[in-house]
Structure formats: C-alpha cells, structure tokens
Amino acid sequence: MNKLRTTLLAAMSLIAANAAHAEMSGNVVKIGVLNDQSSLYTDLAGQGSVVAAQMAVEDFGGKVNGTAIEIVSADHQNKADVGSNAAREWLDVGGVDVIVDVPNSGVALAVNEIVKEKNKVFLISGAASSALTGEKCSPNTVHWTYDTWSLANGTGKAIVKTGGDSWYFITADYAFGHALEKDTAAVVESNGGKVLGAVRAPLNNADFSSFLLQAQSSGAKIVGLANAGADTTNAIKQAAEFGIVAGGQSLAGLLIFITDVHALGLPTAQGLIFTESFYWDNNDATRAFAKKFAERDGGIHPTMIHAGVYSAVTHYLKALAAVGADSDGKAVVDKMKELPTEDPLFGKGTIRADGRKIHDMYLFEVKKPEESKGPWDYYKLRATIPAAEAFRPLDKGGCPFVK
C-alpha cells in the first residue's frame, strides 16, 4: 500500500511537472551559437560568443519559467553550406529554439531564410550586412549589435567631414564586403565626396600588397577597408609597410574590433578611426562584465559581438518568459519588439519593426602607445552617435513587411 502511494505520488508529480513545462518544446530552451570557431573570425566571435551566451543565461537565473536552458555551439567555417546544414539539423532534429551570433553575412543570410521557414528565432550579433533588416528582413530575426549602414554612417561621415573626400575601397569579396562598400559609398557621395574605385579581394587573403598598390595608384585620399578580422589587420600592417600612410593617404578601417587592435599592437594601429557599439571600458557595468568575461575566454576582452550576444540572449529570455511558449518563433520576436530592451552593456533601447535593434553607436580612435595604460586599454571616444541617427531610417531599408 505504501509503495503504491509512493508510485502514485511520483507519477502525479511527473505529470504536474510536465504540465507546467508543456509550453516549452522538449522541456528545454535550447540556444544554438553558430559562428566561426576555427578561422579568421574566431577571436572576435568564436568561443567568446558561447561564453557570452552562458553568462547571459547564468545572470538570468539558468531557467525560463522553470524550464532549463541549454547552450549548444557549432563551427560554420565561414561556409554558407556548412552553416545552413548545421542550422537545419539544429532546428529539425536538435530541438534548438534560437540561433545566435553567425558572423559572416554570407552564412547569416542563408541561416536567416532557414529560421524563417522553420518559424524559430534568429538573433544576429556577428553578421554585418544591412540587408538583414532591409530587403532580406525576416519577422523571425533581430539584428542586434551593428550593421554595415551604421558603420558607414559613423565612420564615413566623420572622415568625409574632416576632408577625406575621395575614396578607394579594398573590399572582401562576399556579401558583407559588398554591403559595407555600397553603404559607405552612399554616405561618402551624399556628403559630397567621391569614390574613385574599388578592388574585390578574396576572403581570408594573406597578401594585400597588390591591392594596396592599386589603391595607391588611384590617388584617393582615403583607402577604405571594407573587410574584417585578419583581413583587416593584414591590410593595415602591409599598408604601413608600403608607405600608404607615409605617402599622404589615410586608411579607414570600416569594421575594426578590439581584438584586431590587440593583434596589430598600438604602434601600428594608433590613430585609426572607426565605429563600434560597445567598448568594455565604457562604464562600471561594462568593466565588471569584461573582467568576468576575460577570465573565461583566455584573457580576451569582449568585442562588441560578444557583448551583443549577451545582451540579445538576455532580452530573448525576457520575451520568452513573457510569451511562455517557444513553439512560435515569430510570436517571441514580436514580444521582443514590444518590450523595451535594457541590460548592463547596451543600456536602454528598442527593437524596430524590421528587426533592427536601436542603440547609440560610438566613434572611437585608437590611442597612441604612450596614452595606453596597458593591454586592452586602446580606445578613446571621439563622438557618440545618438540612437536616432545611428541606424538606417525604417522607410529607407525596403523591408517588405514594414509598410
């Protein structure tokens, strides 16, 4: 009799537990971090993004409405097919509810379609192409950290206004590079500058000397680097070698991360001007985050991509808690757009109808070696670009479902 009662009680509690969690598929909320974990974008995203997602989950309390949260990760190797396969597998059989990060716009554009088709959630931190909230926008996607338009707007405008009115681009030959070049060229031209030419360099190219010579002979005042990661650091390093800057031309790194500055070293990187949405040494909250983060990511200080992953996952969990079910990805994203965002790293903000997260952007300049107090003390703030001006106006993006 006693035994029967215990069994019954156990069965009842099981049913009760099940009932309470029925809204969360598979009784777990699964976050998939998909990014480059073995090649040129590893330091600026990579395992650091997994750490950032874990920190967000821990700070949220580890559970949503009592349901456990699990994080999985995969390496897309910067290949759209590898990334698409991983995403499909996660969404079809892996029980993943939300895909996060995905640097490399080529891969992100592919994953964007898949997530929409499966009605899950896509939180972009690493990818830059402004098409993700423009003509390729999706009701299941939030583009969090930055995009090519905001970089072009911040850096391009600042440089043209200080006299850099003729440009030549060295562009990474894939979706991101093309978008960054297009957006920057538009800003340059609308501010009265002109674009003299562009050369498309393959992704993960080691030697830029040939492209730099072409830029040099164009006679443009500004050589715009529409690339990222190791491509940017190699180009900057070799530009110094070929006397580009000594010859009177200036470099504009359109997308530079703190890990790039760290890799270049201040003697080479000093004076670079660029736009970012996050710097770890901004205030007490970001410093505290950076300290905890660096301990867990081998001393690397968080890039804006890492910060974006933390912030995006935090807001996703808030929205998920409010909706209470993860089966309808679009409903969760709608809730994310409805709730104002607030977290220690990006402060207060909003998410627009087209999926664009809106916050301030910052124009930074790399310090001179003598101004820096030590490793990772690299940026000084030149200007804050207020949220209202930092991103492409809603009606200019051409997102089909925004009327």
Partner 1 sequence: MTELLGISPQALFGQLLIGLINGSFYALLSLGLAVIFGLLNIINFAHGALYMMGAFVGWYLLQYLGLGYWWALIISPVLVGLFGMVIEKTMLKRLHGLDHLYGLLLTFGLALIIQGLFRNQFGSSGQPYVIPKELAGGVNLGFMFLPLYRGWVIIASLVVCFATWYVIERTKLGSYLRAATENPALVQAFGINVPRLITLTYGFGVALAAFAGVMAAPIYQVNPTMGADLIIVVFAVVVIGGMGSIMGSIVTGFGLGVAEGLTKVFYPEASNTVIFVIMAIVLMIKPAGLFGRTA
For the sheet containing 361-366, what is the strand order?
273-276, 361-366, 379-385
Contact predicate 360/367, CB 8 Å: no
**Using CB under 8 A, which of 24, 29, 33, 40 touches partner 1?**
40
**Using CB under 8 A, which of 111, 158, 223, 300 touches partner 1?**
300
* H helix intervals, 154-199: 157-161, 175-190
**Span near partner 1 by CB under 8 A; candidates 175-183, 211-219, 274-282, 329-337:** 211-219
Judged by beta carbon, residue 106 or residue 397, the one nearer partner 1 is: 106
Contact predicate 9/312, CB 8 Å: no
Contact predicate 354/402, CB 8 Å: yes
**Span near partner 1 by CB under 8 A; candidates 9-17, 40-48, 82-90, 186-194:** 40-48
User: Under the criterion CB under 8 A, does residue 41 sit at the interface with partner 1?
Assistant: yes
Structure tokens at 338: 């409805």
**Span near partner 1 by CB under 8 A; candidates 9-17, 66-74, 107-115, 232-240:** 232-240
Residue 403 CB coordination number (10 Å): 6
* H helix intervals, 191-254: 209-218, 229-241
Residue 384 CB coordination number (10 Å): 12
Judged by beta carbon, residue 33 or residue 390, the one nearer partner 1 is: 33
**Span near partner 1 by CB under 8 A; candidates 103-111, 236-244, 317-325, 356-364:** 236-244
User: Under the criterion CB under 8 A, does residue 209 sit at the interface with partner 1?
Assistant: yes
Nearest to 75 by CA among 67, 85, 66, 65: 85
User: Under the criterion CB under 8 A, does residue 243 sit at the interface with partner 1?
Assistant: yes
- Residue 128, phi then psi, degrees to nearest 5: -115, -25
**Span near partner 1 by CB under 8 A; candidates 79-87, 96-104, 122-130, 201-209:** 201-209
Kindly list the distances between the CA atom of residue 381 and the CA atoms of 276, 304, 307, 385, 400, in Å, as whole numbers in the listed order.
10, 15, 18, 11, 36
**Using CB under 8 A, which of 199, 294, 322, 353 touches partner 1?**
199
**Using CB under 8 A, which of 110, 123, 179, 201 touches partner 1?**
201
Strand partners, 72: 32
**Using CB under 8 A, which of 192, 248, 267, 374 touches partner 1?**
267
User: Under the criterion CB under 8 A, does residue 374 sit at the interface with partner 1?
Assistant: no
Judged by beta carbon, residue 46 or residue 224, the one nearer partner 1 is: 46
**Binding stretches for partner 1 (CB under 8 A):** 38-44, 46, 173, 199-202, 204-207, 209-211, 213-214, 216-217, 229-230, 233-234, 237-238, 241-243, 247, 259-260, 262-265, 267-268, 298, 300
